[in-house]
Structure 1
Amino acid sequence: MLVNHLPTLLAERRPKVADAVRATGISKTTLHKIYNDQSTRIDFDTIDKLCKYLEVEVGDIFEYVEESESENIEK
């Protein structure tokens, strides 16, 4: 299971989703879906833009955890 850390990263840096939309050119709908964990697919270009904007690596935004581990994270 992938854990999405985008909301945490944005909260730490204080930009709003609208700021990220303007800075990256990613559509508002796409960014909101990623932010709200509603995306089923994300283009590499989108991930690249997010990494550049936030100055992070892919693993800082998305983390793979085993299902049993993810249950512990959610609790």
Structure 2
Amino acid sequence: MENEFRVILARKKLKISDVFRDTGIAKTTLYGISEETTKHPSATTILKLCEYLEVTPNEFFGIKKTESNGNC
């Protein structure tokens, strides 16, 4: 699943080992999310990462807010 995990880690100067130590999320899970090989990470894991990294889920997944022009 595409995400900005690696970018956020780099920006915050964190390593996966730091995230593992501070959150308890398994390193294999973190590497899978980082390498985008995990297809369906749990919502609990994503929310825990977002809280730890101080980002929103939209920021985590690289979803940019666009202005609505009234079209669906």
TM-score normalised by the shorter chain: which range applies? Answer: 0.7 to 0.9
CA distance in 2, matches of 1:4, 1:52: 15
Distance in 2 separating the partners of 1:10 and 1:55: 11
Q: Distance in 2 between matches of 1:25 and 1:57?
A: 20
TM-score by length of 2: 0.81
2:17 match = 18
| Percent of aligned pairs with the same amino acid | 38
Output the aligned Cα RMSD.
Answer: 1.6
For the residue of structure 2 that corresponds to 1:30, the secondary structure is helix
| Bigger proportion of residues as strand | 1
Regions of 4+ moved over 2 Å: none
* Whole-angstrom distance in 1 between the partners of 2:44 and 2:26: 12
Larger Rg: 2
Q: When the two structures are superposed, what TM-score results if normalisation uses the length of structure 1?
A: 0.78
Looking at structure 1, the residues matched to 2 and 37 of structure 2 have their Cα atoms a distance apart, in angstroms, of 12
The 1-side partners of 2:22 and 2:59 are apart by 19
Q: Note the C-alpha offset of 1:18.
A: 0.4
Structure-1 residue corresponding to 2:4: 5
Greater percentage in helix: 1
How many equivalent residue pairs? 64
Give ranges in structure 2 of 5+ residues lacking alignment: 64-72
Name the structure, 1 or 2, with higher relative contact order (CA <8 Å, separation 6+): 1
Q: Aligned equivalents of 1:39 and 1:63: distance in 2?
A: 16
> For 1:44 and 1:3, how far apart are their aligned partners in 2?
15
1:32 aligns with 2:42: no
